[in-house]
Amino acid sequence: MGVNGSAVVALLFPGQGSQYVGMGQDLQASHPAARAVFEEADEVLGFALSKLCAEGPESELVETHNAQPAILVHSIAVYRCVKEAIGEVAFGAGHSLGEFSAWIAAGSLPFANGLRTVRRRGELMRSRGQDRPGTMAALLGLDDDRIDTICRQASETGGEVVAANYNAPGQTVISGDVPTLERAIELAKAAGAKRAIRLNVSGAFHSPLMRTAQAGFAEQLGRVSFKRPSFPVVSNVSAQPVTDPVTVRRLLEAQLTSPVRWADSIRTMRSAGATKFIELGPGSVLTGLLRRIDREAEGMAIGTSEEVTAFSG
């Protein structure tokens, strides 16, 4: 049971790239539960993240170590506002950073510890991007096997590029060092890719280039206690539901260098009976991907004060 009395509900939490100046400002003004989350975040982090979200500047908000906690805080603020109206939840999943939001919503990871961990994750990813510059690009119109082959071919002459996000059929993000990624883009165009779009990111996330960030991140995860979640969360790495706290820690560490298997994650939840997917946080990127993965799945996004009010009644 769940929303509308019969839907089997899965919660989706967005990842980096969904941030925007003004995010959460209306929520803080209209919903005390959301305002409390932003206030706690400011206290935990020791600076006014709430003001950065509301007022920018954009050049600071998009920085990896700011964008990641900003999106997490916005997502949890929305979740706290609509939790009672959602009712029973069957699954949770989050795209990259969003998986941390899912573990917090499931009660496995305390909010303050999760926020500190995501802030540290962003710092490590940003630092690694400075040490070994890399980037990412979205390729449209090619299947996964073709992209995997292209990445191997582009890497044969040196450097590394890999598939980083299997987002939806015909929409995959690749990640690697700049010259090798450029070779992969040219090969993709020659293979018939409809588009190849360079992303505005500070590093080659979800690729082997992030390997040296793993030790520092493992150290941070070692400071955090995970509990069994109130609902399973589908891992980016395995695309399978997870409830064991030891497994959670291992997979979150591996996530830094592993691809996000998003399309498979949605298929896993659908196969297990999920019928309604609710995206919580800024934007509606994951709701759009859901339509590309499974047109019969019902999806909706809740991220603004107006949407929270309409959903909660």
**Domain enclosing residue 30, as ranges:** 3-129+209-312
**Annotated active-site residue in 206, 207, 258, 305:** 206
DSSP string, 122-170: HHHHHHHHHHS-EEEEEEES--HHHHHHHHHHHHTTSS-EEEEEEEETT
Q: Per-residue pLDDT averaged across 64-68, rounded?
A: 96
**pLDDT bracket for residue 130 (50, 70, 90):** confident
**Which of 102-106, 198-202, 278-282 is least confident?**
198-202
- Same-domain check for residues 10 and 107: yes
> Which neighbouring-strand residues pair with 91?
10
Query: Has residue 107 got a pLDDT over 60?
Result: yes
CATH number, domain at 186?
3.30.70.250
Question: What was the pLDDT predicted at 106?
Answer: 98
- Same-domain check for residues 215 and 287: yes
> Does the active-site annotation cover 225?
no
Q: Which of 86, 85, 104, 84 is nearest to 94 (CA)?
A: 104
Question: What was the pLDDT predicted at 5?
Answer: 57
* Rg, Å, the chain Cα set: 19
Average pLDDT, the chain: 95
- Same-domain check for residues 180 and 260: no
Q: What is the pLDDT of residues 140-186, one digit of tens each?
A: 999 999 999 999 999 998 999 999 999 999 999 999 999 999 999 99
- Same-domain check for residues 114 and 165: no
Cα separation, 180 vs 46, whole angstroms: 39
Cα separation, 83 vs 2, whole angstroms: 11
Q: What is the pLDDT of residues 72-89, one digit of tens each?
A: 999 999 999 999 999 999
Element (H, E) at 35: helix 32-45
Q: Per-residue pLDDT averaged across 118-146, rounded?
A: 93
Question: What was the pLDDT predicted at 44?
Answer: 98
Question: What was the pLDDT predicted at 140?
Answer: 97
Q: Per-residue pLDDT averaged across 214-241, rounded?
A: 96
Q: What is the pLDDT of residues 251-283, one digit of tens each?
A: 999 999 999 999 999 999 999 999 999 999 999
* The pair of three-digit structure tokens given for residue 262, joined into one six-digit string: 């998003």
Decide: helix, strand or coil at residue 276.
Answer: strand
> Does the active-site annotation cover 175?
no
Query: Has residue 28 got a pLDDT over 50?
Result: yes
**Annotated active-site residue in 18, 50, 75, 96:** 96
Decide: helix, strand or coil at residue 190.
Answer: helix
> Which neighbouring-strand residues pair with 11?
92, 278
Instruction: Record the pTM.
Output: 0.96
- Same-domain check for residues 239 and 95: yes
Q: Per-residue pLDDT averaged across 230-256, rounded?
A: 97
- Same-domain check for residues 11 and 103: yes
Q: Per-residue pLDDT averaged across 193-206, rounded?
A: 92
Q: What percent of the chain has pLDDT over 70?
A: 98
Rounded alpha-carbon distances, angstroms, from residue 227 to 44, 106, 219, 224: 21, 9, 18, 10
What's the domain count of the chain? 2
Question: What was the pLDDT predicted at 1?
Answer: 32
CATH number, domain at 228?
3.40.366.10
